Amino acid sequence: ERTIIIPGDEITPSGLALDNEAQKISWTDWVSDKIQRSNFDGTEIEDLITNGLEVPEGITLDVEAQKMYWVDSGTAKVQRANLDGTEIEDLITYPQADLDGIVLDENNKKMYWTEWGAGAALGKVTRANLDGSNEQEVIVIEDAIIKGIALDTKNNKIYWSDCAFDKIQRSNLNGTDIEDVIVTNL
C-alpha cells in the first residue's frame, strides 16, 4: 500500500538520498531550487540549501564523511556540502551542461555523474575524485540522454539509463565493455 509522507503540493523532488543512520531523507527540489531533508516519516522538513541553486537534480550522501554531493543543471556544477548544508564547495564547473544523476564509489573515493545530451550532443558518464580532481569522461555516447546512474562496486560495474535509446546499459567502472541490460523499444 502506498503512503504519502510529504504531499506533492509542498515539494517537487528530483534526486533522493537516504541516511539510514540518522533516519533522514534528503532531496533536491528542482522547482523551488533548494535541497531539503526530513525524517523517514516525512516529519520535520528542513531547508538545507536555499541559495545558489538553479536546477538541482541528482543527490547522494557520504554519511561516513558527513557530506552530500549533488549536480545542478542550471549552474552546470557538481557540488558538495556538509550533511547539514554548510560549507558548500564547487567541485566541477562547466560552461554549460545538463547534469542529472550522481553516485559515489566510496571504496575507491570516486564520484560518477551523468550528463545528458538533449538531442545532437553527447550523453556522458564522468568520474572524478571526491574532491573534484582527476576528472575523466568514462562513457560518451552520441545523441544519448543519459540520466539515472548506479554502481555495483562488488562486480566493478556502472549502470545507467538512456532515455534517447530506451535502454539500460552497463560497463566496467573504467567504461570498457559496454553492454545492453534492458532495451525497451518504447
* In the block, residue with C-alpha cell 538520498: 17
Distance CA 48, CA 30 (A): 14
Q: Residue 164 has what pLDDT?
A: 87
Cell of residue 119, nine digits: 538531442
Distance CA 5, CA 15 (A): 16
Residue 39's contacts (CB-CB under 8 Å, 6 or more residues apart) are 23, 24, 25
Cell of residue 147, nine digits: 540520466
The answer on pLDDT for 75 being more than 90 is yes
The answer on pLDDT for 118 being more than 70 is no
Distance CA 94, CA 79 (A): 12
Q: What are phi and psi of 91, to 5 degrees?
A: -100, -45
Cell of residue 134, nine digits: 582527476
Higher-pLDDT residue of 107, 186 = 107
Q: How many residues does the chain have?
A: 186
pTM of the model: 0.93
Higher-pLDDT residue of 186, 116 = 116
Q: Residue 8 has what pLDDT?
A: 72
